[in-house]
Amino acid sequence: MQKKVREKLKNASLYEEVKNRLHKSALSLSGGQQQRLCIARAMMLEPEILLFDEPCSALDPISTYAIEELLEELKKYCTIIIVTHNMEQASRISDYTAFFYQGEVVEHGDTIDIFSNPKTERLSNYIRGRF
């Protein structure tokens, strides 16, 4: 079990930062470290799908980058679903995007197509910040 814990912490780019305090409270970690710890814990179950709701909200740019790099790596092993209002993040890390408005799927498709050639005025306005 300890070997698997170490492996998942390494996968989450967290092990080197916490290896000397593995038995201490996670509350002493930074927000970005806590987020990566949550991801490492979830990966212990080896899920087929992971759902993230605003995984980088309230994180600084360095922590956001670390989480995005981790998600890029994880999507090789499982399906990642991210709910975000951050259009830049969605365009950077997703392969497929669905745009919802008031509970309705307005548009969906390959991320590059969604952001470069929106088919609906609602999505076009949202991407351009006109909502």
E strand map for 1-131 = 49-53, 79-83, 96-101, 104-110
Domain 2-94 has CATH 2.30.42.10: no
Closest CA to 82 of 108, 110, 54, 101: 54
H/E stretch holding 91: helix 87-93
DSSP 16: H
Interaxial angle between packed helices 61-74 and 2-11, expressed in degrees from 0 to 180 and rounded to the nearest 10:
120
* CB 59 within 8 Å of CB 67: yes
Grade residue 22 by pLDDT with cuts at 50, 70 and 90.
confident
pTM for this entry: 0.80
pLDDT digits (tens, 9 = 90+) for 38-72: 999 999 999 999 999 999 888 889 888 988 998 99
Mean residue pLDDT across the chain: 91
